[in-house]
Amino acid sequence: MISLLIGLAAGFFGGLVGLGGGVIMIPLMVGILKMGQHKAHGTSLVALVFTGISGAVTYALNGSVDIFASSLLASTAIFTARAGARYANALPEWKLKRSFGGFLILVSLLLLLKPYLPHVSLHTTGWLEMFILLLTGIFTGFLSGMMGVGGGTIMVPSMVLLIGFTQYTAQGCSLLAMVPVGIAGAYTHWCLGNVSASILPGLIPGILIGTYLGGSLAHVLPEGALRIIFSAVLIWTGVRYLRTPKPQTGERFYYS
């Protein structure tokens, strides 16, 4: 039941502001379930694969998915996602927590800048577009595997700013690309023992239902106020993670 509620909360808030939910799910699993940071990242990534499938189908039905662009993103990201997962596994717990804290603050800043992205976007085509997509996949794949998140936080602004995609198309491409990327990263975390399979039966339905409810409510509530509140929560959580103390003795290191 607790895992179902965590999934609902992560999906709901993620749906409200257009995120996969990992940035909410991981702190809840660590704080409420007392799960280790490494295992929380791996478990989150498994759950987010199903969110990506559901979201990609929804966007595709509305004609907001560029399959070619998604394929280019995934073609490089599936390799770096595994590298990111192994890198996360090799980090001590306190370092991974600090890295996640910095990532949360980055996400919050991008959320605050979101309304201005379409107004400063470029428009590229041809080989330059392909190069940007491949490069974006390299970076976001590693970030996804390391942080246990979907990677749309980086993919979407990159496609909007550097290629000229609409916000909807960028989000649809990101969701579709992160299905194979998430599977690659989740599989690596699974092999490394960083997945808690016992909570997945509650977590996955919760995040799917929560994402649908949050996405529906997002069209009713004022987006600007929601984005500011959510960003404030992320910054507060990120600062807490950044202040994670370095253990003096007995630190455990994880190696792949």
Residue pLDDT, tens place only, 163-219: 777 767 777 888 888 888 888 888 888 988 888 888 888 888 888 888 777 766 765
What pLDDT score does 119 carry?
Answer: 55
Rounded to a whole number, what is the largest CA-CA distance in the chain?
55
Q: Residue 126, Cα to own-chain centre: how many angstroms?
A: 28
Question: Residues 13, 24: contact at Cβ < 8 Å?
Answer: yes
Write out the two tokens for 186.
């989740």
> Dihedral sign, CA of 92, 98, 104, 106?
negative
Residue among 74, 53, 59, 55 nearest 136 (CA): 74
- Banded model confidence at residue 147, pLDDT cuts 50, 70, 90: confident
For residues 29 and 3, what is the distance between their CA atoms, to the nearest angstrom?
A: 8
Residue among 242, 221, 144 nearest 186 (CA): 144
Residues near 251 by Cβ (< 8 Å), separated by ≥ 6? 92, 93, 94
Query: For residue 201, with 0-12 CB atoms within 10 Å meaning exposed, 13-18 middle and 19 or more buried, which class applies?
Result: exposed
Higher pLDDT: 76 or 63? It is 76
For the chain, the C-alpha Rg in angstroms (whole number) is 17
Is the pLDDT confidence value at 120 over 60? no
Mean pLDDT for the stretch of residues 101-109:
80
